[in-house]
Amino acid sequence: MPDDKVFIFDTTLRDGEQSPGASLSIPQKLEIAQQLATLGVDIIEAGFPVSSPAQFEATRLVAEQVQGPVITGLARAKDVDIEAAGKALAPAANKRIHTFIATSPIHMKHKLNKPPAEVVKMAVAAVQCARQFVDDVEFSPEDAGRSEVPFLIEILAAVIEAGATTLNIPDTVGYMLPYEYGQLIATLKRDVPGIDRCVISTHCHNDLGVAVANSLAGVQNGARQVECAVNGLGERAGNAALEEIVMAIHTRANFFTDGGSGGLTMNINTKEIYRTSQLVSQLTGFVIQPNKAIVGANAFAHESGIHVDGILKERSTYEIMTPETIGLGGSRMVLGRHTGRHGFADRCRQLGYKLKDAELEQAYARFLEIADKKKEVFDEDVAAIINDEVRVVSQVYELKYLHVASGTGTLPTASVRIRIAGQERQAAACGDGPVDAAYEAIREATGLSPKLENYSIRAVTGGKEAMGEATVRIIDAGRTFIGRGASTDIIEASAKAYVDAINRMTAAQETNGPGPKAEL
Ligand SMILES: CC(=O)SCCNC(=O)CCNC(=O)[C@H](O)C(C)(C)COP(=O)(O)OP(=O)(O)OC[C@H]1O[C@@H](n2cnc3c(N)ncnc32)[C@H](O)[C@@H]1OP(=O)(O)O
Ligand SMILES: CC(C)C(=O)C(=O)O
Ligand SMILES: [Mg+2]
């Protein structure tokens, strides 16, 4: 077995699903398991088969339908559990039984009510029983983090003799600190007879927020399997987060090598990380905090002027890994009160605006005023700022009259009168709704039919007399134009916004000819 390969053991469907409120249906488990296989995890812990008929069936279906990874199921050190796991896993091409029993004084005395010698006997019997079903048996001394090391050495040596192939060292209650956990792994690797025939595994909980750090300390000291869950799901504060473990090893592979080999390897396709994280979040209903490492909405977002300037000059100034590596389209530059001139100018350029220095300065000053009032400034706001502050577009088309009839059971119809270069034209049309009818009538009157790409309306003032502001984005011959209109009547605001966008399109066609992606 190569010493530089780290096996990723995913327990989202077992320990992850033990999170209060995270329960998953059988089809949802299958969907996640298929995605975990696409991600490239080495082992999927599909469930705890004895615990309920649904757990059994989910494990059985994953074993039957998911190809690639080894499929495992959890079992207490009891024949009934191990037999259930053996049956549920039977259809899998590659299967493992994971059996466990607690080894800490506190668990043995209060929970199991058994002396240590009895616990060793049960562990050995469990591994022997599991070996009747599979060749691949994992043993976990539960609460290893609070167990006495000589007892751990004794029980691990005994289960190796009984046929265990993977030894998992759980810090079940997340009590240990990274140096301590690393030293525990180093001690077991050195002192347990026969351990070199087995893979040493980490299983760390996050009660003190150090599950990932502990797992990595384990790897640094010779563990070559990491048990983890997507988005850090799991009992209480969760398990070590799969995406953090994988990206730490991926980004710092050379840091971990013991004995100077070339760096650690994994089977994971990192480009599937983001997709997997989103799927698990959606199916469990567990929202990902924005500042969550690797998969949080802000993990690759930048707002501060100095950071954005650095990134625009050289990405690695503020990014230690690229968003593309985890399957994201790119970094997100957020416009807000911390944005500097470089970031603002870059966004204007991306939107297709060619501004002179003085125009940029004028637009930036207005942008800062708005950014102070809003959490985030969007592209539509930038377009509006430039439209209002920098460019005055000649009004070739002017909405003179609008009448719309709509209601339950009637076909929405609109009639408009539009002044076009001094002359007035009228048109009427029907539509799916009042705004659609008004837009159709405007298209009829102007003879122009740009594609409507986006439409939004928001209240800009409160109360009965609230002003509605409509923003539309239209596309003509591959070019984008944004128009805005405000009125206390939202249909009128919508019509004005459309006419405004048409004026901007016409102005751009007259002055620029074919040009940039977006125009005033
Ligand atoms: C750290 C972990 O994540 S451990 C896994 C936790 N996951 C779960 O508990 C999954 C959901 N659990 C269940 O469905 C149920 O608890 C079952 C089916 C496993 C057991 O249910 P029950 O038989 O009703 O027992 P209950 O859960 O109340 O108590 C657990 C029993 O198992 C015993 N036990 C606990 N761990 C082990 C073990 N590893 N090996 C043998 N016996 C064990 C306890 O001492 C207790 O035994 P007792 O009845 O003689 O006192
Ligand atoms: C069953 C074991 C591995 C476990 O989940 C734990 O100890 O946390
Ligand atoms: Mg656990």
pLDDT over 70, % of the chain: 94
* Polymer length of the chain: 520
The helix/strand/coil state of 227 is: strand
Residue of 1, 2, 33, 3 whose CA lies nearest to 16: 33
Question: Which DSSP helix (H) or strand (E) runs through 128?
Answer: helix 116-131
Residue with the bigger pLDDT between 47 and 380: it is 47
What's the pLDDT score for residue 207? 98
- The tokens for 378 are 């969007």
Residue of 302, 313, 321, 309 whose CA lies nearest to 243: 321
Q: What ipTM does this complex have?
A: 0.98
Q: Domains of the chain (ranges plus CATH)?
A: 7-256+264-284 (3.20.20.70), 301-388 (1.10.238), 397-519 (3.30.160.270)
Query: Which residues have a beta carbon within 5 Å of ligand 3, which is an ion?
Result: 15
What's the pLDDT score for residue 258? 54
What's the pLDDT score for residue 81? 98
Ligand 2 closest atom vs CA 170: 7
Residue numbers belonging to the annotated binding site for Mn(2+) = 15, 203, 205, 239
Q: How far apart are CA 289 and CA 297, in angstroms?
A: 8
Average pLDDT estimate for 208-234: 97
Q: What is the pTM assigned to this prediction?
A: 0.80
Q: Give the closest residue (by CA) to ligand 2 atom 5.
A: 15
Q: Please tell me the distance between residue 57's alpha carbon and the centre of ligand 1 in angstroms.
A: 19
Average pLDDT estimate for 207-220: 98
Q: Reply yes or no on whether the pLDDT at 196 is more than 90.
A: yes
Which ligand is nearest to the Cα of residue 110, counting in written order? 1
In whole angstroms, how far apart are CA 81 and each of 52, 55, 155, 201, 425? 11, 12, 20, 22, 81
Q: How far apart are CA 405 and CA 400, in angstroms?
A: 17
Ligand 1 site, residue 78, Cβ cutoff 6 A = yes
Q: Reply yes or no on whether the pLDDT at 485 is more than 90.
A: no
